[in-house]
Amino acid sequence: MKPLVASLMLFLSWGSHQAAICHELSGFIELEGWFFIHEGQFDGQERQSGSIAFQPEYFHEWRNGSSFTFVPIARLDATDDERTHFDVRELNLLWLQDRFEVRFGIGKVFWGVTEFLHLVDIINQTDLVESIDGEDKLGQTMIQLSIPSQRGTLDLFALPWFRERTFPGRKGRLRSALVVDTDNAVYGHEDKEHHIDLAARYSHTIGDIDFGFYHFNGTGRDPTLIPTLSSNGQPELIPFYELINQNGLDLQAVAGDWLWKLEAIHRRGQGDDFLAMIGGFEYTLTAVFETSADLGLLGEWAYDERGDDAATAFENDLILGLRLAVNDAASSELLAGFGQDLDSRARVIRVEGSRRFGNNLRLFLEIWAFIDQPEDDFLSSMRDDDFVEITLAYYF
């Protein structure tokens, strides 16, 4: 870590002589409170928890458009040791040329179009202890070559260092019934986390349609969780990371006020070959209720060929949602989703809203409820984990 800090200090001191646009330090610090409605199912789980996180971002841009980015994050959690963690989200150089660009270092890449599940997104590992919506990701070492042209964009990736998924610890809420032992992960390939994963993606916009498809060859980001006994005889889960080949497609079409969305994957190497998809729409109403607010109506259907065997909550589920953009000075927003498992009575409700206070503070509110989760369902271990999360973030 020390050479990193030293080189950063060097950048900072050198950058301070440059024009303001060329270098900047920004980021946020946030306080988070978790309030669970029920007692936990498992020993040691608390009704309340709190944490504090700090994520600065240093950015330096040269005159030719090449740039350097450094984004670390540190979180201290009051209850769960696994949630207390540090990660480098980004530490990379972007080399910009006329015909192509190369990103070298730790970076983050997002693929996908749907709201409630990010199926095709695969480059970065999910930081599951940060949030359960799968939108927080661990930094991934990469060499990315991006070649944009009139006929679309080709992205080629070499991903030399695999990141294991984070899982809540014994005292953490929103966990599986057996604790995942992240210190003893096993791999399908002898190179383990040093296997060099490869990916290629082509994406393009033709008229009202944006689409992309890719092939990924490497260590699967979703582990198979294998029940076993720990060294002191306790039952636990061990993450097993197989070598997979995955093809993915994402597509979005604009048709007037409608957006139509589709994500699909085909995976080989993790049990039987399977298909999974999520598709749906978003319809936007402008200036509703005689105000300047915009209201989006969302509907998505998720399907996984593995059915109940799938290590996912989305094997045959319908999700309906509302998105409200108030368009006020505080940029108030609300997104609500209601998910119904079409094979059982299981339902999930999630609501997330936020608004700004003053110029630098933003308050986030997130509510999740897990209703009628049957014993054999993926989310059964979270059936008592309905919660309210309040976050106050200061941006600088």
Partner 1 sequence: MNRLIILVILTAILLPITALAETPEEKGLVIALEAEKRDSGFGDSTSNMKMILRNRHGEESSRDIRIRALEVEGDGDKSLAIFDNPKDVKGTAFLTFSHKHKDDDRWLYLPALKRVKRISSRNKSGSFMGSEFSYEDIASQEVEKYTYKWIRDEIYEGAEYFVSERYPVDKKNSGYTRQVSWMDKKEYRPFKIEYYDRKNSLLKTLTFKGYQKYLQKHWRADEMHMVNHQNGKSTDLYWSDYQFQTGLSDRDFNKNSLKRIR
* DSSP H helix total and E strand total for the chain: 1, 21
Instruction: By CB under 8 A, tell whether 299 contacts partner 1.
Output: no
Strands 316-325 and 293-304 come out as: antiparallel
The span from the first CA to the last CA of the chain, in angstroms, equals 24
User: What's the gap between Cα 360 and its chain centre?
Assistant: 24
Q: Residue 102 carries which side chain, given as an amino acid letter? A: V
Q: Residue 294 carries which side chain, given as an amino acid letter? A: D
Largest CA distance in the chain: 64
- The site for partner 1, by CB under 8 A, has a size of 48
Report the nearest approach of partner 1 to the CB of residue 228 (Å).
Answer: 35
CB of 311 closer than 8 Å to CB of 237: no
**What stretches of 222-269 adopt beta strand conformation (E)?**
224-229, 235-241, 243-255, 258-269
> Can you spell out the DSSP letters for 88-114?
EEEEEEEEE-SS-EEEEEEE-------
Q: What is the DSSP letter of 314?
A: -
Q: Report the residue from 191, 328, 343, 372 that binds partner 1 according to the rule CB under 8 A.
A: 328
Report the nearest approach of partner 1 to the CB of residue 385 (Å).
Answer: 24
Instruction: By CB under 8 A, tell whether 329 contacts partner 1.
Output: yes
CB of 348 closer than 8 Å to CB of 371: yes
Report the nearest approach of partner 1 to the CB of residue 259 (Å).
Answer: 6
Instruction: By CB under 8 A, tell whether 101 contacts partner 1.
Output: yes
**Nearer to partner 1 among residue 92 and residue 182 (C-beta):** 92
Q: What is the DSSP letter of 41?
A: S
Q: Using CB atoms within 10 A of its CB, is residue 266 exposed (0-12), middle (13-18) or buried (19+)?
A: middle
Q: Report the residue from 2, 183, 359, 375 that binds partner 1 according to the rule CB under 8 A.
A: 359
Name which of residues 360 to 379 contact partner 1 (CB under 8 A). 360, 362
Q: Report the residue from 84, 131, 141, 146 that binds partner 1 according to the rule CB under 8 A.
A: 146
Name which of residues 193 to 222 contact partner 1 (CB under 8 A). 203, 205, 208, 210
Name which of residues 157 to 186 contact partner 1 (CB under 8 A). none
Report the nearest approach of partner 1 to the CB of residue 325 (Å).
Answer: 9
Site string for partner 1, 229-268 (x = CB under 8 A): -----------------------x-x-xxxx---------
Q: Report the residue from 64, 160, 292, 345 that binds partner 1 according to the rule CB under 8 A.
A: 292
Contact footprint for partner 1 (CB under 8 A): 24, 26, 28, 59, 61, 65, 67, 94, 96, 98, 101, 108-110, 112-113, 135, 146, 148, 153, 203, 205, 208, 210, 252, 254, 256-259, 284, 286-287, 292, 294, 326-331, 356, 359-360, 362, 393, 395-396
